[in-house]
Structure 1
Amino acid sequence: MTVHPSLQNYADAWTQSVESIAELVQPLVEGEWNRVTPCPGWSVRDVVSHVIGMECEMLGDPRPIHSLPRDLYHVRSEFARYMEMQVDVRRHHTAPEMTSELEYVLIRRARQLRNESRAPDTKVRAPLGAEQTLELAYRMRAFDTWVHEQDLRTALGRPGALDSPGALVARDVLIEGLPKAVAKNAGAPAHSAVVFDVSGPVEFLRTVRVDGEGRGSVDGSPSLGPLVTFSTDWETFYRLTCGRVRAAAVADRVKVDGDEELGEAILRVIAVTP
């Protein structure tokens, strides 16, 4: 590959996850494409449609002209409507159509990666007509693809890849979302600290600190007197922060020490993905 060094890790993580997705869905029979995934409102077919659609956008393909049905309960925002377009337009595609389109898109994207010569700070298309840097686009595709690989693994009963390169990208993205969840959304008090102690295939300890003006930050240093400490495993952490499960459903896998009221408030808003 000829991508810039700062893009290489993201390109490698994306490649591994997307190839795993292709391998997972290639042998599926028609009915298995309708299995429910942990991603709200989406089946196996829908998740793969989303992956195809996002890769088409990375290639610069025009978005489909399509009217969404009015009864999609999980579509509650403009961002969700934007994402749903690529999904709904493929809802009646057959298994061979899905695997063929996925294979073709991945061939095109692999060629794009091989020939990538743009600088990491190059502005490219982002959802809702916005712009983002090429580096951020690469990073978010690696993150998004790994999370959806996990959605498919859960739906198909094929666990794995919890410590893959994509998992490490996901770790960093999810940790970056914690300060907003703790300080702004849960309203943790000024001059407080909240610790996340995560074990398993991806292990880390992070402290979210709230300053005197209520702004949150995160670092790897332990806190001597945190208001709340969460102890859980990596799989449960990513499922919570990606909105794949509610805290009540995994209460036996999350230990909360300290201020119970604040702990409950944080768990209610801990999903950091859109």
Structure 2
Amino acid sequence: MSLHPTLQSYADAWTHSIEAITELVQPLVEGEWNRRTPLPGWSVRDIVSHVIGMDCEMLGDPRPIHTLPRDLYHVTNDAQRYTEMQVDVRRHHTSPEMTSELEYTVIRRNRQLRNESREPGTKVRGPLGTELTLEESMRSHAFNVWVHEQDLRAALGRPGNLDSPGAHIARDVLLAELPGVVAQGAGAPRSSAIVFDVHGPVEFLRTVRVDIQGRGTLETAPALGPAAMLTLDWETYVRLACGRVTREAAADRVKAEGDPDLAEAILRNFTVTQ
């Protein structure tokens, strides 16, 4: 048996991103592993450690037994503590140790995907003891690895792959969160419409309509006379949605029309990742 067709796009996206990450870090000298990234408290080494750790968990490996230091200012909740464990345990690994473990983990994951015969709805282990379907797990993983590829590119000054298979998975994941951002997060008025016009390597025009009950839905049809309209490039959209840049820092790359208070509220609640 082979991978279910529903899961193939997620496997392809992961493969593309993990190969790009491997290519990015392979030539790094020791000092470059300590470069800052857009994630507070995390270096290039830390992001690669996180990617390795995520794939080890996809493989079903036991989590490391490790005590976190008390002075990690960027770790403030249980979800962050859970994530940090795989990072901190590798914090003093050398460049050869990092690249060797990454390569070995990729080999194991490729073997796992070649032999994967489970149905998309199969329940699997998720973070913090949660349970989710295999499809949800693989989609989330493909999204996360692509986002971290972009983090590494930003840290190393190597932009690229903004239109890769992982970018299209990211578009769908982030768009699924948009109705909640507008309706619940920003509290957009009932019976209103907000338009998002995104240009660049990945382009889309979407409308979030808020019904009389205050629920938001995503539509591809443009709205006439929307309450607000936000126009921005794809990279800025991703960086805002993933909390890599503040709305103030990205102000010159976002054009807002219509109700300025509503537009500000949307941007204030735009981050949907932890």
Quote the offset at 1:80 in angstroms: 1.1
Amino acid at match of 1:64: P
Amino acid at match of 1:130: T
Aligned residue for 2:117? 117
Aligned residue for 2:75? 75
Aligned residue for 1:156? 156
- Find the aligned partners of 2:119 and 2:10 in 1 and give their Cα distance: 14
What does 1:144-183 align with in structure 2 at a 5 Å threshold? 144-183=144-183
What does 1:1-274 align with in structure 2 at a 5 Å threshold? 2-274=2-274
- Find the aligned partners of 1:6 and 1:230 in 2 and give their Cα distance: 32
Indicate the SS of the match to 2:249: helix
Quote the offset at 1:171 in angstroms: 0.4
Say what the alpha-carbon RMSD is for the aligned residues: 1.0
Quote the offset at 1:230 in angstroms: 0.3
- Find the aligned partners of 1:66 and 1:228 in 2 and give their Cα distance: 48
Amino acid at match of 2:192: S
Give TM-score, length-normalised by structure 1: 0.98
Amino acid at match of 1:2: S
Quote the offset at 1:85 in angstroms: 0.8
Amino acid at match of 1:51: V
Quote the offset at 1:189 in angstroms: 1.4
- Find the aligned partners of 2:34 and 2:6 in 1 and give their Cα distance: 38
Indicate the SS of the match to 2:218: strand
Amino acid at match of 1:160: G
- Find the aligned partners of 1:99 and 1:82 in 2 and give their Cα distance: 23
- Find the aligned partners of 1:167 and 1:100 in 2 and give their Cα distance: 27
Worse overlay, 159-168 or 64-73: 64-73
Q: What is the percent sequence identity of the aligned residues?
A: 71
Quote the offset at 1:40 in angstroms: 2.4
**Structure 1 residue ranges without an equivalent (≥5):** none
- Find the aligned partners of 2:94 and 2:153 in 1 and give their Cα distance: 20
Amino acid at match of 2:238: Y
Give TM-score, length-normalised by structure 2: 0.98
Quote the offset at 1:192 in angstroms: 1.2
- Find the aligned partners of 2:146 and 2:40 in 1 and give their Cα distance: 16
**Structure 2 residue ranges without an equivalent (≥5):** none
**Structure 1 runs (4+) greater than 3 angstroms displaced:** none
- Find the aligned partners of 1:136 and 1:243 in 2 and give their Cα distance: 22
Amino acid at match of 1:161: N
Amino acid at match of 1:245: V
Indicate the SS of the match to 1:195: strand
Indicate the SS of the match to 1:9: helix
- Find the aligned partners of 2:237 and 2:262 in 1 and give their Cα distance: 18
Quote the offset at 1:250 in angstroms: 1.4
- Find the aligned partners of 1:41 and 1:186 in 2 and give their Cα distance: 28
Amino acid at match of 2:157: G
What is the CA deviation profile of residues 190-240 of structure 1, one whole-angstrom value per residue up to 9, with x for unaligned ones?
A: 111111100011000111111111111111111112111000110111111
What is the CA deviation profile of residues 17-71 of structure 1, one whole-angstrom value per residue up to 9, with x for unaligned ones?
A: 0010011001100100010111222110010000000000000000011111222
- Find the aligned partners of 2:100 and 2:193 in 1 and give their Cα distance: 50
- Find the aligned partners of 2:214 and 2:40 in 1 and give their Cα distance: 32
- Find the aligned partners of 1:73 and 1:7 in 2 and give their Cα distance: 37
